Amino acid sequence: MKLPSASEILSGGAEFFEKEIQKNISLNTISPGKARANLDWSHIEDVQNLNPDFKSVFPWIAKCLADHRAYLYSDYLKLLETETKLLESQKQLDALKSGDMYS
């Protein structure tokens, strides 16, 4: 099965998607979701303490929502590293401008 290019998908509209893409998608429910009024934060904190990778899930989701873009997790990590370096450089530049090079 050969899928259309990204540009074809983006320019194709809803009818194109239904005709060319959706027919090739099969959904398999592994575990049905349960509707809840809120999150079980204590359970989430427990999972975060057991698995360090899980700690970055919520900041990753927040970044995607803030930027209105779905990032691959690997791209998010690279972006985070770049933003951290940029902030450090900006702090150094601000310190140089203020004459306080040792802050």
Start-end of H helices in the chain: 6-16, 41-50, 57-67, 73-98
3 within 8 A of 19, measured Cβ to Cβ: no
Percent of the chain clearing pLDDT 70 (strictly above)? 95
pTM for this structure?
0.50
Task: Kindly report, residue by residue over 4-25, the tens digit of the pLDDT.
Answer: 788 888 888 888 888 878 877 7
Residues 6+ apart with CB under 8 A from 1: 24
